[in-house]
Amino acid sequence: MITLDKAIINTDVVVSSITGEQALKRRLMDLGILPGVKIFVRKIAPLGDPIEITVKNTDLTLRKHDAKNVSVEPISQS
């Protein structure tokens, strides 16, 4: 298990849990980042932060610092 900020670009991951301050947690969940949801880690900004992810067919960007609060399980590429 890793945190979302460490996920490899261009891979899919599945959310296992979300921690952190209630406001941030709620925000992430409101946007569909929930346990069991598949996330595609799309790219990283040119200066190394933030990252871009696709979740529920929407592109979102968030900082690595905030992405730390999302624990994910990489899906092994077949």
Partner 1 sequence: MSIKIALAGNPNSGKTTLFNNLTGTNQHVGNWPGVTVEKKEGRLKKHKNVEIVDLPGIYSLSPYSLEEVIARDYIIKEKPDLIIDIVDGTNLERNLYLSTQLIETGIPVVLAVNMMDKVSKNQDSINLENLRKYFNTDVIGISALKSEGIDELIQIALKKIELSKEFVPIVWFNENIEKVLAQLVSRLKDNVDEKQLRWYAIKLFEHDKLFIDNINQNNDLLEAANKIIDSSFNNIDTESLITEGRYQYIDKIYDRIFIKNKLQREKISHSIDKVLTNKWLSLPIFAVVMFLVYYISISTIGGLMADFVNDVIFGDGGIPDILRNGLHAINASSWIEGVLVDGIVGGVGAVLGFLPMMLVLFILLGILEESGYMARIAFILDRIFRRFGLSGKSFIPMLISTGCAIPGIMASRTIQDEQSRKMTVMTTSFMPCGAKLPIIALISGALFSNSPIQWMIAPSAYFFGISAIIISGIVLKKFKAFAGEPAPFIMELPDYSIPRFTSLCHHVWNKLKSFIIKAGTVILAASIVIWFLSSFNFRFHMVEDVDTSILASIGKVIEVVFSPLGWGNWKAAVATFTGLVAKENVVGTFGVLYGFAEVAEDGSEIWAVLSADFSPLSAYSFLLFNLICAPCFAAIGAIRREMGTAKWTWIAIGYQTLLAYVFSLVLFQIGRLFLGFFTFGTIIGIIVIGIMIYLIFIKKRPERYLVENERIIRN
Binding residues for partner 1 (CB under 8 A) = 18, 22-32, 34-35, 42-50, 52, 56-63, 65-66
Comparison of 18 and 39: residue with beta carbon closer to partner 1: 18
How far does Cα 30 stand from its chain's mean position?
A: 13
| Residue 53 near residue 38 (C-beta atoms within 8 A) | no
- From residue 53, alpha-carbon distances to 9, 59 in Å are 9, 6
Comparison of 43 and 71: residue with beta carbon closer to partner 1: 43
Comparison of 2 and 60: residue with beta carbon closer to partner 1: 60
